[in-house]
Structure 1
Amino acid sequence: MEKKEKEAENELVLPPSPTLTIGIAINGNRESKYVVKWALEKFVPEGNVMFKLLHVRAKIKLIPTPMGNLLPISQVREDVAAAYKKELEWQANEMLLPYKKMCAQRKVEADIIIIESDQVANAIAEEVSKNTITRLVIGASSRGMFTRKLKKNNLSSRISACAPSFCTVYAVSKGKLTSIRPSDSEMNGSTKDDSSETSFSSKNSSDYSFSSQTELGSVATYATFRSPSLPMQRSQALSTINQTHLHSRTSSLSRSTESTQFKSPDNNHSRCQSLDNAAGNDDMSSCPNSSESREAVSQNSSHRSLQTDQQSWLPDQISTLDAQTDNNPSECQVNINFEIEKLRTELRHIREMHAAAQSETIDASQKLNTLSKRRLEEAMKLKEVCLKEEEAKELARQEKAKCEAAIREAVHVKGRADREASLRQEAEMKASHEAKEKEKLQNYLTGPLQQYQKFTWDEIVSATSSFSEDLRIGMGAYGTVYKCIFHHTAAAVKVLHSKENGRTKQFQQELEILSKIRHPHLLLLLGACPEHGCLVYEYMENGSLEDRLLRKNNTPPIPWFERYRIAWEVGSALVFLHNSKPEPIIHRDLKPANILLDHNFMSKIGDVGLSMMITTDSSSTSTVYKDTGPVGTLCYIDPEYQRTGLISPKSDIYAFGMIILQLLTAKPAIALTHVVETAIDDDNLTRILDSEAGNWPVEETKELAILGLSCAELRRKDRPGLKDRVLPILEKMKEVANKARNSISNIQSAHPSHFICPISKDVMDEPCVAADGYTYERKAIEKWIETNDISPMTNLALPNKNLLPNYSLLSAILEWKSRKQ
């Protein structure tokens, strides 16, 4: 008996769990996620498992086209069909990838198997057979799957029906197991277990109380749901006990049967009848002649549940033990004791398993409490971290505000420092300039006067690019003028045509006068090369007054107020020459061609080569005249000087009167006095005025015209004095011009300066860029380049006559006009 007990205990040891291949049928809907999750929770704890993710897609028969229709695959090129298949395969892999990631998170190996078939159930069944999948998990409808009445269109039912017999099929709905279709091995195992339990139930003692049965059933049930291996352990233990019990009971019943047969056959029959009545029809094991019936009954009851078996074999045991007690009391008592001992062993084993399950439950509860406590602690820590984060953010905001304030303060301090540095630099420059001026003045007062700067002939040749024709800006009777650059400063070089005595005398005369006198409206002499008869003047950008008045090269007209100012400037320069000390200077060749204009239209008198110094008689109030040969330009020479040959300062007044009349009319000097006198007498002066100069003020212009006629009188004594009569009128005209200029400046100040055309002096409507780089009004520059090849701004030759629209400037002008409106 001890040997049998040891063998029974050895049979309860669990064998190592084999590797399971689990198949999961996935169609990509929302239910597939719950199916995979259930399979992971179900099979991962059992040990080494491998998942096969099965997906069936229909065979490709039609290929979509870009037009939206479908073509049979046989009518499509092979490369297009292969590309379409590859795209569908990639989409299927992308669809199954999240489920594979779920397996990877549980550290489970998972393979993706994509099957191309129109028969989903047969395809899955073939793949199960091919990969020897012993467990298959599929999705089921909410109504259940393995019912007695299966619908033909139920895919889950068809998969279960087509699955191989060695595979167990699990149907899962909404994450819960709904039904199982067991495999053949499980069916055979359950039949064997049920028959063993049934035979064992016929030998239980009547002393085994109902509470013990309930405890055993509950423990077995708990163990069954707690671990899938516990039913197998219990079946093996019950099988061992039942085999021992059947052997001992068979021997005891055979002995009692023999003794009873020798006594009386009738008694045997009546005994069997009473046992049948006592035990019932469900268990025929108490009668020796009904052993085959008992085996058939036990085999037919193999599919009953464990709880039903435990409840059904208790009356059979009682009736059987009663019958054995009647036949042989002593032997039955021994068998009962043996059975009780075996049951106690099994009960002890089950209680140990129950205790282990309770211990696991307690451990799990403790772990749950620990996790809850840890979660609370982590929540508290998270709250503290959030509070610290908010504090850090607030601190960061404060620091950022401080940093921005510091940056603003630094920028303010830097700006103040820059302004102070700029002011200091300006003060230093001003002090340095004043010191230089003071030093220059002291040198002028104490030392000899540096009359002019001397240039070498090589410097003259280099500056004029060997007297290039492109740099020639004018030609006169006595020499040619070239534009050049000396020490990064623009200048004009006048080169005499020859070195004759007369030319040399004029050269020395001009050099002597310009080197001794300085006036804002006299052309400045920068230097000279006496050896080759070259004079270097300051460069005047706007050329001569004659070119501007007669509009040579289509130069822009001079406004009337600028002409008023030019008349005053020329008059003040003549007053300076006539009152110079120690001897007065007479220009003798005053005309618009010798009056030059700089970039601001400021006038300066040049070409004083014919000027001469005259002496005055201290005993006479009038100027001493000098008899000379007549020189100068026709129409500007004093008629009395031509008749008598006597020169005086009033000879320049005559030429100045002609210049005033030309400033008003912009007409040639021939017969100009007669034209103006006739217009004044006819009270039609505005007819002969230059209309392109603007709207002339009538009264002032008439007064200025009368002044010009008085200066151009034929007799010298009829001409007014330049300083006491002419210059005051010109100063009054200058004030009128200044007022007009200021009003126009105020109007034009509303216009950005780059909106004004340099030619038309108005806001441009169609700005274009010329070859010189300046922007002009298209109509004005087109009219200019029709008759000129030079730039109106630089007086240099234009490389080409192409015009490019300046769209950016046009956009700015249009925006400015829209705001102005």
Structure 2
Amino acid sequence: MLHPSSSMFAHREVQLDMMVLESDDVADAISKAVQDHGISELVIGASSSIIFSWKLKRSNLSSRISDVTPRFCTVHVISRGKLLNVRKSDVDIETSIADDRSESQFSSSSQSGSVSSTSSHQFSSTSLLYQRVQALSTVNQKVGTNMGTKKSIDTHHSRAASLDVDEPNQRGYYRTNSSLVRYKESDIHSRRSSLTEEGSSSGCYSDPTSSSSQMNKDFELEKLKIELRHIKGMYAVAQSEVLDATKKMQDLNQRRSEEATRLKNLTIREEYAEEAVEMERERQEEAENEAELVRECVEREAEERLEAEARAEEVRKEKQRLEDALEGGPLQRQQYMKFEWEDIVQATSSFSDELKIGSGGYGSVYRCNLHHTTVAVKVLHSDKSSLTKQFHQELEILSKIRHPHLLLLLGACPERGSLVYEYMHNGNLEERLMKRRPNTDAPQQPLLWFERFRIAWEIASALYFLHTNEPRPIVHRDLKPANILLDRNNVSKIGDVGLSKMVNLDPSHASTVFNETGPVGTFFYIDPEYQRTGVVTPESDIYAFGIILLQLATARSAMGLAHSVEKALRDQTGNFSEILDKTAGDWPVKEAKEMVMIGLRCAEMRKRDRPYLGKEILPVLERLKDIACDARNMFSETVNKHNNHAPSHFYCPITKDVMENPCVASDGYTYEKRAIKEWLEKNHKSPMTDSPFPNQTLLPNHSLLFAIKEWISSHTIK
């Protein structure tokens, strides 16, 4: 509703602010807005139909707003463009009363003919000329009305006397546009004394002519006094204006000096800014020139790199062609027997669960007979298309290389993703160390310490063979006890090379092989540096080999193993022997420490701190293997002397001697009764399965006892 009026205010260049009030009571809301914003003028509209009700009842909204609006605000009521009513503010009412009083006092003073200087009300800004004319008219009126009468003079004296009584400060004031001028008390005293003398002289002589002359003199004297006061007032005003002008001049000079100082500072800052801009422009030009040179160098280096890569690709292709020619082509290199899928299905009884010996994310492993040979068949999951690369990689690597301690690949069925390996009767190293293989062909005996020394050397020799492969080294990337298999005689072989990687040798670092790839493998055996950078090197296998060495000595889990072993080595109380696996027999402490120290060095966090496999690790492990061979020969002689090669199930798994009183424990294994009782007094887990005994019941194995006695008697007769 107010927007149409905005153009009028904009046309007249008047600032306009619009405000919307929300309230249940309009009059109270407007009153509160006037109070909060200090509004001194309020214009409200009234309907034409309530003009008469305004004058008669005053009960409409406009009247209510006028009544409740604060008294400092003037309220104008408008109807049809006409002013209907005005409610003045308290300030307007007080000003009106003061003006009325001033006018009444001025009129009474003019009629009585007195010149009063004691009025407390000061006339609003009148000029000195107007005051002079007013005073002269007052004197003329006085002379005309009191010519030749003494009474007027006496009245004049009495009023002069009343001036002395009524005026507390005994001073008069003139108000001008610029200042308030004060005249002195001496003027009033001189005026009073002159009037007294004139009155006394007029009392002595009653001559009318002299009285008229005297009145003329009084008139002239009064006129001169008024002019004198007028001149003094003008002088005071001029002096005050001069002082004001001087002060303003001083202020202007001070401001001019300050502005001059500021201008000087700005000029200096402008000069500095111009110099800085100039220096920045020069630096920018230099930077652009350098950037241009760098850009040219980068482009030139990019061209040279592309040329070098092209030459290297040509050399690689030529080298590959020559290798293929020397080895008879890629098809001839892959020497393995191809098995038919139907033969594999028939041999595994359609992949019966009874023949399954292992499973994982890649597929399942089955034991079966193919071509009158016991083999292990690994069958990949049919829905795992991502494993195709691993299958072909393992097939390619194992078909090209041979080593006594690498799992032997007998053949494959490439169409169905199946690999045929030699069968390892004693399972994997993890099962033997952790005693987690419940179903075996014969009772599983713990690995003795000299067998563990030999297994450590066998693994190291197989790794050295892979790392020194020509023309490209091979990194296993998933070395762990579960991928180290044992045959009938506990000879170890590394298997599961599906994650292996053939990498190139860096020409700038003859001992470092690298290849950018995503970290793969088993968590506790992954090289920390390889896991962080994704760069696979032979040192990654060295880290996993170090953890395996520690497990061979302790038969413990890989989690936190390096820290535990290192803490035991630092302990001076001989705590090192406590971490060694007791089931391995009587460890030679010195040699066991050597193997553990090598394992800790291999398990260093940084690859540059790990020892070299060929120069540092293999010599130590080969010396330990020789010691193990001597110990094994002595052990074999002792066993043969006492037992003369008794069947393996005649031996107690705890004492390693032929049993004299065999008993079956609740774990299903047969032990020497004396040995198992001692074991149960100290342990609650089975020495074979590492699982808690269901109970401590021991049942005599009479059939085994009979067989043992029969064998002893037959051996004695011989």
The TM-score with structure 2 as length reference comes to 0.47
